[in-house]
Structure 1
Amino acid sequence: MSGSHSHRTRIPPVGVAAVLCAAALTVAGCSSSGSGAAATDSARDAAAAASSAEGLQTAYQNAVKKVLPSVVQITTDQDLGSGVVYDTEGDIVTNAHVIGDATSFQVQLATGGRPLAAKLVSSFPPNDLAVIRLNDPPSGLKPAVFADSGKAAVGQIVLAMGNPLGLSSSVTQGIVSATGRTVSESKTDGGTGATIPDMIQTSAAINPGNSGGALVGLDDKVIGIPTLAATDPQLGSGAAPGIGFAIPSATVKRIADQIVENGTVTDSGRAALGVTVRGVVDDTFQPAGAAIVEVDPGGAAAGAGLRPGDVITKVGDAPITTVQSLTEALADDKPGQKVKVTYDRDGATKTVEVTLGSL
């Protein structure tokens, strides 16, 4: 999230049951020799536990030491967030909502020194990603190494690195709580309004200013870009503790590679109908579908015969009641995939098969 905005997705409260398991050591016999053996075993176990704890701490510290120099602070006239050094040419990947409408930036390296000027290369709001480039990249820039996010596993220890609330080079820790989440940003709270598939859920604290930073495994590789935290509907705008989301590194690399090479995104990997829509309501003023306002010539919808005025009510088996639900229904689909679209036209319900295009 950016420093002055706290945009979050709203998700229903989830009940979590925690089960604590205790291991009991049973020692047979009461002789002095038995007690001595038990004491020896206990001392050995304690030494092993201490060694294990020390090893884990060392892994944490090594990850911070190796990756934090690749995490920068990005400042605009109105905002503050984080970014990750992408290459030695001065390219930095961050969230689209961090840069907003700005085209020039000040970048502070974690290694110190004066702020460096940067300019926008390109932004891709549908995936809330952007690349900026240092005007005069210094020698010794340390690009982050990106992991295969497809191997991210629930329970994996992760560290979130960034500049929460302007506290530069901060680190929080947690685990991967879930993978494959489809999450929608709030546009009114400073986000892009994007619906992003395949996100990594984490318990590592994600606060305003963490957006665009790094979610890092203990192998010293970035598995995702922290982007937003959830809010609890029962707390109004209050954050739901321990529920944050990061864009997976596979998506980050696919989008950033194209921006760095071409200056734009030519293949998002995201499906699209090729329509502009608005929400409609029924006679009881309940959301009732997504009405097509405009059809892109040569797009997927045009090829299937959809036209302005049609009201989409279902994509595949997913009911469509709002613009948001249409976006979410398409989020997990791929370009070239065939889906059935149900729609209302002039009071009649029709269904057509559409070959999806690219977002």
Structure 2
Amino acid sequence: MNHQFSKSTIKYAWLPFFVLLTIMLAACGGAETAANPVTQAINTLTEEAEPETTILEESDPVAETAVVPAAPEIVEETAVTSPPITPSTDLFAQEQQFVSIYENVNPAVVNIAIGSGQGSGFLIDGNGHIVTNNHVVENGGQIVVNFEDGRQLPAIIVGTDISSDLAVIQVDANEIQDITPVQLADSDALKVGQIVIAIGSPFGLQNSMTTGIISALDRLFPGAVGPNGVPFQIPNIIQTDAAINPGNSGGPLLNLNGQVIGVNTAIESPVRGSSGIGYAVPANIVSNIVPQIIANGRVDTPWLGISGGLISEDAALALGLPADQTGILINEAIAGGPAATAGLRGGNSPDVIIGVDGVEIVEFDDLLGYLVQQTIVGQTIQLQIMRDGQPQTVNVTLAARPATS
């Protein structure tokens, strides 16, 4: 049973104390109660008080007789609460940028179903050409391209390049005139730490978007096996921690301008799931290779005809070079290849390549990247080398890379 107290009744809460005090004084032989000032004070307070009563519920048997002292007046305190968390305008701007990129680019990103497999790709022009990976289409079979709006179009293979793991397929251009193709960025301008976005069909989940950063640049990725049994390398590979999984192959890796900086190609994972290490073929290789595929159905990749690696400190000292010498030590100039024809040496007295056409060569990737992105078959380049401790320049005419296996 709830008893409520009126506001004024609290004033009488201390009266029993004074009554008890008066009785105690009288019992001890004090003045008479009528003349006791404490008793007078109690009487005065009693006369001035206007006690209030609270009517209890009708079902309560005490309601007809009980007069309940009122509760003390409680001053409500203003509750102290934390202000709502408002994300920074920068965060909102980034969020909106992601939304805009997805809405603008996603219509040009496709799911490619071929045989029992599938992958991703993106529309590169208004003629129905779609870029993807060679390994997505290399096994052949009927190709069906699925667009984000539900359109399903048959496609043919225009051409492939096993060396860069790129391929071009084509759908009827009349069926996609309302779709804006993607734009390619300059991948040479990329920096580690830049935010990137991947769109594709991981595990067949079409039109999925993930985000991350560029984790590293200028990685070498093994490609097809060359005539000497050594795999060719794909240079300038972009490493990203954006979630890339089986099915993302061939899809675009984008910058915050919605431009393609690379083609998602592979992941490094023991369980075929994203472990934060994904690889993409850079856009500048795409811009060099894809036009050749469209024009010729194939690519003649420039070939120097050497195998080698970074020069070590011990090798530099043995060759009479400074211990901190940089460059590519030629292990072998393949017989009949452009380098051997030009007189470049490997073996016991190897040449060290330190530049090409005036561009400094520090990593093997520097040399491969220049050849793949900046040269064509039949072009003559100038190699700056160190031979017998002295700098020299050698002219080399590039040939087409031999058939791969």
Q: Same fold (TM over 0.5)?
A: yes
- Decide whether aligned partners of structure 1 residues 97 and 52 sit closer, same or farther in structure 2, where only a CA change above 3 A counts: same
Offset at 1:90?
A: 0.5
Q: Greater relative contact order: 1 or 2 (C-alpha under 8 angstroms, separation 6 or more)?
A: 1
Aligned to 2:102: 64
Residues 1-359 of structure 1 mapped to structure 2, 5 A cutoff = 47=86, 49-102=87-140, 104-113=142-151, 115-135=152-172, 137-138=174-175, 139-185=177-223, 194-231=232-269, 241-266=275-300, 268=301, 270=302, 272-274=303-305, 292=334, 295=336, 299-304=338-343, 316=352, 331-332=368-369, 334=371, 336-338=381-383, 355=396, 357-358=398-399, 359=401
AA at the equivalent of 1:304: G
What secondary structure is seen at the aligned counterpart in 2 of 1:264?
coil
CA contact (8 A) 2:101 2:258 kept: yes
CA-to-partner distance for each residue in 1:45-104, whole Å, 9 max, x for gaps? x65x43322221111111111111111111222421111101111000111111114275
- Decide whether aligned partners of structure 1 residues 165 and 174 sit closer, same or farther in structure 2, where only a CA change above 3 A counts: same
TM-score by length of 2: 0.57
Aligned to 2:55: none
What secondary structure is seen at the aligned counterpart in 2 of 1:131?
strand
User: Any gaps of 5 or more consecutive residues in structure 2?
Assistant: 1-81, 226-230, 308-330, 355-363, 376-380, 388-392
CA RMSD of aligned residues (A): 3.7
- Decide whether aligned partners of structure 1 residues 301 and 61 sit closer, same or farther in structure 2, where only a CA change above 3 A counts: same
Offset at 1:112?
A: 1.2
CA contact (8 A) 1:339 1:354 kept: no
C-alpha distance in structure 2 between counterparts of 1:86 and 1:312, whole Å: 48
Offset at 1:131?
A: 0.8
Among all aligned residue pairs of Structure 1 and Structure 2, give the percentage whose two residues are the same amino acid: 33
CA contact (8 A) 2:262 2:283 kept: yes
CA contact (8 A) 2:133 2:166 kept: yes
CA contact (8 A) 2:236 2:365 kept: no
CA contact (8 A) 2:134 2:167 kept: yes
CA-to-partner distance for each residue in 1:112-165, whole Å, 9 max, x for gaps? 12x211111111111111111114640323211222222222222111111111
Offset at 1:167?
A: 1.0
Aligned to 1:347: none
CA contact (8 A) 1:153 1:176 kept: yes
User: Any gaps of 5 or more consecutive residues in structure 1?
Assistant: 1-41, 188-192, 277-288, 319-326, 343-351
- Decide whether aligned partners of structure 1 residues 239 and 356 sit closer, same or farther in structure 2, where only a CA change above 3 A counts: farther
Offset at 1:217?
A: 1.6
- Decide whether aligned partners of structure 1 residues 201 and 329 sit closer, same or farther in structure 2, where only a CA change above 3 A counts: closer
- Decide whether aligned partners of structure 1 residues 221 and 332 sit closer, same or farther in structure 2, where only a CA change above 3 A counts: closer
C-alpha distance in structure 2 between counterparts of 1:215 and 1:311, whole Å: 41
C-alpha distance in structure 2 between counterparts of 1:315 and 1:69, whole Å: 51
- Decide whether aligned partners of structure 1 residues 156 and 43 sit closer, same or farther in structure 2, where only a CA change above 3 A counts: farther
C-alpha distance in structure 2 between counterparts of 1:337 and 1:229, whole Å: 36
Aligned to 2:12: none
Which structure has the highest strand share of the two?
1
C-alpha distance in structure 1 between counterparts of 2:241 and 2:199, whole Å: 13
AA at the equivalent of 1:316: V
TM-score by length of 1: 0.64
- Please, which moves more after superposition, 329-338 or 222-231? 329-338
CA contact (8 A) 1:175 1:203 kept: yes
